[in-house]
Amino acid sequence: MLFLLSGPSGVGKGTVRKALFKKEPHKLLYSISATTRKPRRGEVDGRDYFFTTKSKFEEMINAGQMLEYAQYVDNYYGTPKNWIDDQREQGNDVFMEIEVNGAMQVRAKVPDAILIFLLPPDLMQLRNRLELRGTESDEVIDERLKTARQEILMMTNYDYAVVNDKVDRAVKKVQTIIDAERLKAKRLANGYMKILEV
Protein backbone atom coordinates (compact mmCIF):
# COMPACT_ATOMS: atom_id res chain seq x y z
CA MET A 1 0.00 0.00 0.00
CA LEU A 2 1.04 3.57 -0.53
CA PHE A 3 0.31 6.13 2.20
CA LEU A 4 0.97 9.79 1.48
CA LEU A 5 1.12 12.66 3.97
CA SER A 6 0.85 16.26 2.76
CA GLY A 7 0.21 19.61 4.35
CA PRO A 8 1.69 23.07 4.43
CA SER A 9 5.31 23.67 5.34
CA GLY A 10 5.76 23.72 9.11
CA VAL A 11 2.54 21.88 9.93
CA GLY A 12 4.55 19.02 11.41
CA LYS A 13 4.61 16.33 8.70
CA GLY A 14 8.19 15.30 9.47
CA THR A 15 7.58 15.36 13.23
CA VAL A 16 4.45 13.21 12.95
CA ARG A 17 6.10 10.81 10.50
CA LYS A 18 9.16 10.28 12.71
CA ALA A 19 6.97 9.64 15.79
CA LEU A 20 4.80 7.25 13.76
CA PHE A 21 7.83 5.30 12.53
CA LYS A 22 9.07 4.88 16.10
CA LYS A 23 5.74 3.20 16.93
CA GLU A 24 5.63 1.17 13.69
CA PRO A 25 9.17 -0.02 13.11
CA HIS A 26 9.77 -2.03 9.93
CA LYS A 27 6.14 -2.01 8.83
CA LEU A 28 6.27 1.16 6.74
CA LEU A 29 9.11 2.25 4.48
CA TYR A 30 9.81 5.94 4.04
CA SER A 31 10.23 7.16 0.48
CA ILE A 32 13.30 9.43 0.41
CA SER A 33 12.77 12.35 -1.97
CA ALA A 34 15.27 14.09 -4.21
CA THR A 35 15.63 17.84 -3.92
CA THR A 36 17.70 20.72 -5.21
CA ARG A 37 17.33 22.49 -1.85
CA LYS A 38 20.54 22.90 0.14
CA PRO A 39 20.80 20.59 3.19
CA ARG A 40 19.84 22.10 6.55
CA ARG A 41 22.12 21.69 9.53
CA GLY A 42 21.92 18.03 10.62
CA GLU A 43 20.32 16.76 7.43
CA VAL A 44 22.06 13.74 5.89
CA ASP A 45 22.19 12.92 2.17
CA GLY A 46 20.44 9.61 1.52
CA ARG A 47 18.56 9.72 4.85
CA ASP A 48 16.60 12.98 4.80
CA TYR A 49 16.80 13.65 1.07
CA PHE A 50 18.91 12.85 -1.96
CA PHE A 51 20.43 16.30 -2.40
CA THR A 52 21.20 17.05 -6.01
CA THR A 53 21.69 19.82 -8.55
CA LYS A 54 19.09 21.43 -10.79
CA SER A 55 20.64 19.96 -13.93
CA LYS A 56 20.77 16.40 -12.49
CA PHE A 57 17.19 16.74 -11.28
CA GLU A 58 16.07 17.85 -14.76
CA GLU A 59 17.94 14.87 -16.26
CA MET A 60 15.95 12.55 -13.98
CA ILE A 61 12.68 14.20 -15.02
CA ASN A 62 13.55 13.87 -18.70
CA ALA A 63 14.55 10.22 -18.24
CA GLY A 64 11.11 9.48 -16.71
CA GLN A 65 12.69 8.54 -13.37
CA MET A 66 10.28 10.54 -11.19
CA LEU A 67 6.94 9.21 -9.99
CA GLU A 68 6.05 12.86 -9.33
CA TYR A 69 7.84 16.15 -8.88
CA ALA A 70 7.10 19.79 -8.18
CA GLN A 71 8.76 23.16 -8.01
CA TYR A 72 8.21 24.47 -4.51
CA VAL A 73 9.50 27.94 -3.50
CA ASP A 74 12.44 28.01 -5.95
CA ASN A 75 13.50 24.36 -5.61
CA TYR A 76 12.63 21.03 -7.19
CA TYR A 77 11.36 18.15 -5.04
CA GLY A 78 10.48 14.71 -6.39
CA THR A 79 10.01 11.01 -5.73
CA PRO A 80 12.30 8.49 -7.47
CA LYS A 81 9.99 6.02 -9.20
CA ASN A 82 12.11 2.84 -9.26
CA TRP A 83 12.36 2.50 -5.52
CA ILE A 84 8.60 2.89 -5.03
CA ASP A 85 7.87 0.32 -7.77
CA ASP A 86 10.36 -2.17 -6.29
CA GLN A 87 8.96 -1.88 -2.77
CA ARG A 88 5.35 -2.23 -3.86
CA GLU A 89 6.23 -5.25 -6.02
CA GLN A 90 7.79 -6.85 -2.92
CA GLY A 91 4.57 -6.22 -0.98
CA ASN A 92 6.00 -3.50 1.28
CA ASP A 93 3.90 -0.55 2.44
CA VAL A 94 5.43 2.80 1.50
CA PHE A 95 4.99 6.17 3.20
CA MET A 96 5.52 9.40 1.24
CA GLU A 97 5.71 12.91 2.68
CA ILE A 98 5.27 15.49 -0.11
CA GLU A 99 3.55 18.76 -1.07
CA VAL A 100 0.14 19.02 -2.76
CA ASN A 101 1.01 19.32 -6.48
CA GLY A 102 3.06 16.15 -6.27
CA ALA A 103 0.29 14.48 -4.27
CA MET A 104 -2.19 15.17 -7.07
CA GLN A 105 0.20 13.53 -9.56
CA VAL A 106 0.37 10.45 -7.30
CA ARG A 107 -3.44 10.44 -7.05
CA ALA A 108 -3.63 10.27 -10.86
CA LYS A 109 -0.90 7.63 -11.28
CA VAL A 110 -1.59 5.45 -8.22
CA PRO A 111 -5.37 5.55 -7.71
CA ASP A 112 -5.27 3.24 -4.68
CA ALA A 113 -2.84 5.49 -2.76
CA ILE A 114 -4.23 6.76 0.56
CA LEU A 115 -3.84 10.53 0.83
CA ILE A 116 -3.79 12.22 4.23
CA PHE A 117 -3.72 16.00 4.70
CA LEU A 118 -2.20 17.40 7.89
CA LEU A 119 -3.66 20.72 9.06
CA PRO A 120 -2.41 23.27 11.59
CA PRO A 121 -4.85 24.40 14.31
CA ASP A 122 -4.61 27.85 12.63
CA LEU A 123 -2.32 29.86 10.33
CA MET A 124 -0.78 31.82 13.20
CA GLN A 125 0.54 28.57 14.69
CA LEU A 126 1.95 27.61 11.31
CA ARG A 127 4.01 30.82 11.28
CA ASN A 128 5.07 30.25 14.90
CA ARG A 129 6.21 26.70 14.13
CA LEU A 130 8.26 27.80 11.11
CA GLU A 131 9.81 30.67 13.07
CA LEU A 132 10.62 28.43 16.03
CA ARG A 133 12.15 25.79 13.74
CA GLY A 134 14.50 28.52 12.57
CA THR A 135 15.60 26.83 9.36
CA GLU A 136 14.31 29.39 6.85
CA SER A 137 14.82 33.12 6.39
CA ASP A 138 11.86 35.47 7.06
CA GLU A 139 11.52 35.90 3.29
CA VAL A 140 11.26 32.15 2.66
CA ILE A 141 8.83 31.75 5.60
CA ASP A 142 6.57 34.39 4.00
CA GLU A 143 6.73 32.53 0.66
CA ARG A 144 5.93 29.21 2.35
CA LEU A 145 2.97 30.73 4.22
CA LYS A 146 1.65 32.29 1.02
CA THR A 147 1.85 28.85 -0.63
CA ALA A 148 0.19 27.30 2.45
CA ARG A 149 -3.04 29.23 1.84
CA GLN A 150 -3.34 27.68 -1.64
CA GLU A 151 -2.34 24.24 -0.37
CA ILE A 152 -5.03 24.18 2.32
CA LEU A 153 -7.68 24.77 -0.39
CA MET A 154 -6.58 21.45 -1.96
CA MET A 155 -7.49 19.53 1.18
CA THR A 156 -10.83 18.36 -0.28
CA ASN A 157 -8.91 16.19 -2.79
CA TYR A 158 -7.55 14.02 0.03
CA ASP A 159 -9.02 10.91 1.63
CA TYR A 160 -8.45 12.11 5.19
CA ALA A 161 -7.66 15.32 7.07
CA VAL A 162 -5.93 15.31 10.44
CA VAL A 163 -5.34 18.38 12.64
CA ASN A 164 -1.87 18.43 14.18
CA ASP A 165 -2.72 20.18 17.44
CA LYS A 166 -0.78 17.76 19.65
CA VAL A 167 1.81 15.48 18.05
CA ASP A 168 0.77 12.30 19.91
CA ARG A 169 -2.89 12.87 19.03
CA ALA A 170 -2.08 13.42 15.34
CA VAL A 171 0.13 10.30 15.30
CA LYS A 172 -2.69 8.22 16.82
CA LYS A 173 -5.10 9.46 14.14
CA VAL A 174 -2.68 8.68 11.30
CA GLN A 175 -2.04 5.24 12.82
CA THR A 176 -5.80 4.61 13.00
CA ILE A 177 -6.18 5.55 9.32
CA ILE A 178 -3.35 3.19 8.34
CA ASP A 179 -4.79 0.32 10.41
CA ALA A 180 -8.28 0.85 8.97
CA GLU A 181 -7.04 1.00 5.39
CA ARG A 182 -4.92 -2.12 5.85
CA LEU A 183 -7.91 -3.99 7.24
CA LYS A 184 -10.08 -2.78 4.35
CA ALA A 185 -7.47 -3.93 1.81
CA LYS A 186 -7.19 -7.32 3.50
CA ARG A 187 -10.95 -7.80 3.46
CA LEU A 188 -11.14 -6.73 -0.17
CA ALA A 189 -8.37 -9.19 -1.05
CA ASN A 190 -10.38 -11.96 0.63
CA GLY A 191 -13.54 -11.01 -1.29
CA TYR A 192 -15.26 -10.19 2.03
CA MET A 193 -16.66 -6.83 0.93
CA LYS A 194 -17.90 -8.29 -2.35
CA ILE A 195 -19.92 -10.91 -0.48
CA LEU A 196 -21.43 -8.20 1.74
CA GLU A 197 -22.43 -6.15 -1.31
CA VAL A 198 -24.33 -9.11 -2.85
Q: Is 13 annotated as a binding residue?
A: yes
Q: Looking only at Cα atoms, what is the longest distance across the chain?
A: 58
Give CA–CA dist 198/192, Å, rounded: 10
Question: Is 12 a residue that touches ligand LQESDW3C (CB under 6 A)?
Answer: no
Q: Which of residues 155-194 bind ligand ATP (CB under 6 A)?
A: 164, 166-167
Q: Is 8 annotated as a binding residue?
A: yes
Which of the 8 DSSP states describes residue 32? P
Contact criterion met (CB below 8 Å) for 10 and 129: yes
Pick 88 or 133: Cβ nearer ligand ATP: 133
Contact criterion met (CB below 8 Å) for 45 and 29: no
Member of 6, 13, 69, 98 binding ligand ATP (CB under 6 A): 13
Q: For the chain, report the end-to-end CA distance as a whole number of angstroms.
A: 26
Member of 2, 4, 60, 98 binding ligand LQESDW3C (CB under 6 A): 98
| Nearest Cα to Cα of residue 29 among 9, 1, 49, 57 | 1
Pick 52 or 101: Cβ nearer ligand LQESDW3C: 101
- For ligand ATP, the binding residues (CB under 6 A) are 7, 9-15, 129, 132-133, 164, 166-167
Q: Which residues are annotated as a binding site?
A: 7-14
